């Protein structure tokens, strides 16, 4: 197998450091360095960017990011068994790799990064969606990152890019597509990983828009979407009853039939409804 750097092959790294995969940490490693370099390239031009990587593990993707020219990589890894392998990569790329042995949910990554920033990760499945939601809901927009290039279970990736009328369409699609362009750039079978998971995986590229696609108050939009999809089989006039007392007329003012269901409504109309609810509340 062709290699992208002078470091040992990943199978050797794993054997040397005894990195037996732990299921509890979502450890399914990518050992093909050509594939990890491909994922790095899917994120766009890395030269001149700081990259935040969550869960570097034995460092296959980390090596891809560095070989593709990332100015600096900040890698946050919870499993301290991976640290010696990551330290070897840091030595091979002097001054370009910083490693934090921490839980990514507990760290303020921004404090360690200099813009422009790209986030690129083969995420642990147990915290992937939680991290995505946090990256998509910063205090202000645009966020500190330009792009998110993230590996998910294929089913989660499909929920992120889903369009109205499909089964996968819901809160995640609306949250992601309100302020980002989102597309699947790569799909991988279980055999691409060691050990192979039960499911297929996919890489999603999310590019932050300078401003939301349609104006809306984030808290109100989130409340409407949550209420609508919590009871996705109900008509909106019923599922959104708690959002505003006169919900039927607000739905109509947003060009939404009160008998429609959440999964039929596109982002533009959800945003129109959020604006109508906000105006009614402040009247």
Binding residues (CB under 6 A) for ligand SAM: these are 25-30, 54-57, 60-61, 76-79, 82, 103-105, 122, 124, 127
275: Cβ contacts below 8 Å, ≥ 6 apart: 215, 216, 217, 254
**Does 195 sit behind a cis peptide bond, omega within 30 degrees of 0 on the bond before it?**
yes
Q: Which is nearer to ligand SAM, 107 or 235 (CB)?
A: 107
Q: How far is the CB of 279 from ligand SAM (least distance, A)?
A: 41
Q: Which is nearer to ligand SAM, 85 or 272 (CB)?
A: 85
Q: How far is the CB of 104 from ligand SAM (least distance, A)?
A: 4
Half-sphere exposure of 1 (CA within 13 A, CB side): 13
Q: Which is nearer to ligand SAM, 27 or 177 (CB)?
A: 27
Q: How far is the CB of 251 from ligand SAM (least distance, A)?
A: 40
Q: Would you state the structure tokens that stand for residue 110, as one six-digit string?
A: 């921004």
Instruction: Say what the alpha-carbon torsion angle 37, 48, 138, 271 is, to the nearest 10 degrees.
Output: -80
Q: Which is nearer to ligand SAM, 89 or 267 (CB)?
A: 89
CA pair distance 151, 132, nearest whole angstrom: 11
Whether 181 and 209 have beta carbons less than 8 Å apart is answered as yes
Q: How far is the CB of 14 from ligand SAM (least distance, A)?
A: 10
Q: How far is the CB of 7 from ligand SAM (least distance, A)?
A: 14
Q: Nearest to ligand SAM by Cβ — which residue?
A: 55
């Amino acid at each position: 197998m062709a290699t992208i750097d002078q470091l040992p092959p990943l199978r050797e790294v794993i054997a040397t450091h005894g990195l037996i995969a732990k299921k509890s940490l979502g450890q399914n490693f990518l050992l093909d360095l050509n594939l990890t370099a491909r994922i790095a390239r899917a994120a766009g031009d890395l030269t001149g960017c700081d990259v935040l990587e969550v869960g570097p593990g034995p460092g296959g993707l980390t090596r891809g990011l560095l070989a593709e020219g990332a100015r600096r990589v900040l890698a946050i890894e919870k499993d301290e068994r991976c640290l010696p392998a990551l330290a070897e990569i840091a030595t091979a790329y002097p001054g370009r790799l910083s490693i934090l042995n921490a839980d990514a949910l507990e760290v303020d990554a921004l404090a360690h990064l200099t813009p422009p920033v790209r986030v690129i990760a083969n995420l642990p499945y147990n915290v992937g969606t939680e991290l995505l939601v946090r990256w998509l809901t910063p205090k202000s927009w645009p966020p500190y990152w330009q792009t998110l290039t993230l590996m998910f279970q294929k089913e989660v990736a499909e929920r992120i890019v889903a369009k109205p009328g499909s089964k996968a369409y819901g809160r995640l699609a609306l949250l992601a597509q309100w302020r980002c362009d989102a597309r699947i750039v790569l799909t991988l079978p279980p055999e691409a990983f060691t050990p192979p998971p039960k499911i297929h995986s996919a890489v999603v590229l999310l590019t932050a828009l300078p401003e939301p696609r349609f104006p809306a108050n984030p808290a109100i939009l989130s409340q409407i979407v949550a209420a609508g999809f919590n009871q996705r089989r109900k008509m909106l006039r019923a599922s959104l009853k708690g959002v505003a007392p006169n919900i039927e007329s607000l739905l109509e003012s947003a060009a939404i039939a009160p008998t429609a269901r959440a999964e039929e409504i596109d982002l533009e109309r959800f945003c129109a409804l959020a604006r109508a609810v906000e105006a009614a509340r402040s009247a």
